[in-house]
Amino acid sequence: MFHPVIHYTLVHILQQNRPQAFAQIFGNREYPELGGIVRFFTVPYGGILVEAEVYGLPDARNGGRDAFFGFHIHENGDCSDSFQNTGDHYNPSGAGHPFHAGDMPPLMSNGGYAWTAFYDDRITISEILKKSVVIHRMPDDFTSQPSGDAGEKIGCGVIHSVRF
pLDDT confidence bin for 92, thresholds 50/70/90: very high
Between CA 110 and CA 54 the distance in angstroms is 11
Other beta carbons less than 10 A from residue 73's beta carbon? 27
In a domain, 54, yes or no: no
Domain holding 154, by residue range, is 59-116+130-164
| 31-82 residue pLDDT tens | 999 999 999 999 988 899 999 999 999 986 666 666 899 999 999 999 999 9
| 134-143 residue pLDDT tens | 999 988 888 8
Between CA 158 and CA 15 the distance in angstroms is 24
Which residue type is seen at 78? D
In a domain, 49, yes or no: no
In a domain, 31, yes or no: no
In a domain, 143, yes or no: yes
**What CATH number does the domain containing 111 carry?**
2.60.40.200
In a domain, 147, yes or no: yes
Between CA 137 and CA 127 the distance in angstroms is 26
Between CA 84 and CA 67 the distance in angstroms is 23
Between CA 75 and CA 2 the distance in angstroms is 33
| 103-131 residue pLDDT tens | 999 999 999 999 999 999 999 999 999 99
**Please, which residues bridge with residue 73 across strands?**
133
| 4-33 residue pLDDT tens | 556 678 787 877 879 999 999 999 999 999
In a domain, 161, yes or no: yes
Q: How far is CA 38 from CA 49, 95, 142, in A?
A: 10, 24, 22
pLDDT confidence bin for 84, thresholds 50/70/90: very high
In a domain, 160, yes or no: yes
In a domain, 22, yes or no: no
